[in-house]
Amino acid sequence: MKKWKINSWKNYPVKHIPEYTDKKELDMVLGKLKNFPPLVFAGETRHLKEQLANVVDGKAFLLQGGDCAESFAEFHPDNIRDTFKVMLQMSLVLTYSASLPVVKLGRIAGQFSKPRSAPTEIKNGVELPSYLGDNINGIEFNERSRVPDPKRLFKAYSQSASTLNLIRAFSHGGFADLKMVHTWNLGFIKKSPQAKKFKELEDKIADALAFMDACGINSDFNRRLKTVNFWTSHEALLLPFEESMTRVDSTTGEYHDTSAHFVWIGDRTRQIDGGHVEFCRGIENPIGIKCGPTSKPEEIVKICNAINPKNEKGKVTLISRYGYDNVGKFLPKLIRAVKKEGLNVVWSCDPMHGNTIKSATGFKTRPFNNVVREVKNVFAVHQSEGSFAGGLHIEMTGQNVTECTGGAQKISDQDLSHRYHTHCDPRLNASQALELAFLISDEIKKNSQYSKNIAQAVS
């Protein structure tokens, strides 16, 4: 392996990074960002890696979720709060049913840049460069807004910092206290079947807390009852930005990308000889690798070895995203190749990106049923291969949007236009996300791998 440097990725071909016309301005912005405070601290990143090592061992479950693309327009404390609430609710459902701790990882506080399937977009005969994410260009369909503007990086940094600040406050300031569980429910799902199920769970938790309180165990004495660890993640796509946020940790001398705790390499940029893999192999952060239908098992093995030469547990998360009807064709082969090499990985399932279709009404959507099918198929494959289905990666929001069809609210093609707010891919709304958590908890109960782990944990 060639020696890694913070900018050695520049010696490799890179995809999906925009050409900035004003290079001087880009350098000025990146130069300033290099001196901005890190968004996360290296010690936190190490802590997350330890938690992910538990997922590798089947002792915890990973829940990763948030917007497909964060935007400047949707930046609002209520949106952050509601995404946080749904993640807490989903975690509680999963923890309760599987008796496993849930590692909570937001696609938040930095998830801006997007790889696009086409470099340009045509509307009414006018062709313009595609929208690439709010930290690169604007979504408005006019020439000016589509020019990559380096200064957008300042705004994205600032939005990430204040989002993270609020998340830290929620996580440690009392909002996540188990005693507050009844306040996590969102108004618009209160009448849904999931809300009823969640209420039953709330009551059971209240009983358990009352019992523990009577035994002298309560949140005044045990921080873990009133705080949570909530980590941040995004796709490490825009490498000039990621490089500018990468710093040497003074306590260990190691490089950490301080823009988030966890970053992942997308399905379109995971070339073994590409700049994205090169950049990610030098940083200490845990790394996700998206695996789609075009990924060859032997290539994924090579990427794992490049990124994690010491085969450290918790360093690599493989995120499969094949599409519900492709899981059986691709996933077993990947699991076998990874097992043959003895690689330690977290197996996570992204049931969103392989199930995107165009609705009859012209919207990009994902039928909830197909999302559920992919999850079920992935669990079944892991069950038969004897591996641990340890994670879920979803695009979701706490808002009452109508972007994915189906679910208990029975969102139809016609309903999509009502509240379709996403800047990129369609997200599950809070009701659909919670419904998915209940369905997964049923899968977990069925899976012998979990029962084995729970039995081991108890004995």
Please report whether residue 406 would count as binding ligand PEP according to CB under 6 A.
Answer: no
Stretch that binds ligand PEP, among 2-10, 182-190, 265-273, 405-413 (CB under 6 A): 265-273
Residue partners of 65: CB distance under 8 A and separation at least 6: 83, 86, 87, 90, 105, 106, 107, 392, 393, 394, 395, 396, 433
| Three-point CA angle 139, 145, 149, nearest 5° | 105
Please report whether residue 186 would count as binding Co ion according to CB under 5 A.
Answer: no
Does residue 424 contact residue 234 with C-beta atoms inside 8 Å?
A: no
Please report whether residue 267 would count as binding ligand PEP according to CB under 6 A.
Answer: yes
Residue 323 interacts with, from Co ion, ligand PEP, none (CB under 5-8 Å by kind): none
Residue 332 interacts with, from Co ion, ligand PEP, none (CB under 5-8 Å by kind): none
Site residues for Co ion, window 67-96 (CB under 5 A)? 68
Q: Where are the alpha helices (DSSP H) in 131-260?
A: 152-172, 193-214, 239-244
316-320 and 346-349 strand pairing: parallel
In whole angstroms, the minimum distance from the beta carbon of 350 to Co ion comes to: 9
Please report whether residue 276 would count as binding ligand PEP according to CB under 6 A.
Answer: no
- Candidate residues 70, 82, 267, 425; the one interacting with Co ion per rule CB under 5 A: 425
Residue among 58 and 275 whose Cβ is closer to ligand PEP: 275
CA distance to 292, 337, 446, 448, 449, per residue, from 383 (Å)? 20, 16, 9, 7, 7
Residue among 46 and 353 whose Cβ is closer to ligand PEP: 353
Residue among 130 and 218 whose Cβ is closer to ligand PEP: 130
Stretch that binds ligand PEP, among 197-205, 207-215, 264-272, 429-437 (CB under 6 A): 264-272
Site residues for ligand PEP, window 285-344 (CB under 6 A)? 290, 292, 321
Please report whether residue 404 would count as binding Co ion according to CB under 5 A.
Answer: no
Does residue 266 contact residue 237 with C-beta atoms inside 8 Å?
A: yes
Q: Is 327 exposed, middle or buried (0-12, 13-18, 19+ CB in 10 A)?
A: buried
3-state secondary structure of 416: helix
Structure token pair of residue 317: 């998360």
In whole angstroms, the minimum distance from the beta carbon of 57 to Co ion comes to: 29
Structure token pair of residue 55: 């997922």
Which residue, judged by CB position, is nearest to ligand PEP in the bound state? 266
In whole angstroms, the minimum distance from the beta carbon of 294 to ligand PEP comes to: 11
Binding-residue pattern over the window 51 to 70 for Co ion, x denoting contact by CB under 5 A: -----------------x--
Stretch that binds ligand PEP, among 120-128, 263-271, 335-343, 364-372 (CB under 6 A): 263-271
| Three-point CA angle 353, 359, 361, nearest 5° | 145
Sign, CA dihedral 251-254-258-264, equals negative
Binding-residue pattern over the window 110 to 129 for ligand PEP, x denoting contact by CB under 6 A: -----x--------------
Site residues for ligand PEP, window 60-89 (CB under 6 A)? 68
Structure token pair of residue 374: 């992919």
Number of residues that bind ligand PEP (CB under 6 A): 10
- Candidate residues 58, 148, 240, 266; the one interacting with ligand PEP per rule CB under 6 A: 266
Residue among 290 and 315 whose Cβ is closer to ligand PEP: 290
Taking the C-alpha atoms of residue 106 and residue 84, their distance in angstroms, rounded to an integer, is 8
- Candidate residues 353, 366, 376, 382; the one interacting with ligand PEP per rule CB under 6 A: 353
In whole angstroms, the minimum distance from the beta carbon of 111 to Co ion comes to: 9
Q: Looking at this protein, which amino acid is placed at residue 300?
A: I
Structure token pair of residue 76: 């609002």
Residue among 68 and 444 whose Cβ is closer to Co ion: 68
Taking the C-alpha atoms of residue 309 and residue 74, their distance in angstroms, rounded to an integer, is 40
Taking the C-alpha atoms of residue 158 and residue 346, their distance in angstroms, rounded to an integer, is 31
User: Where along the sequence are the contacts to Co ion (CB under 5 A)?
Assistant: 68, 425
User: Where along the sequence are the contacts to ligand PEP (CB under 6 A)?
Assistant: 68, 115, 235, 266-268, 290, 292, 321, 353
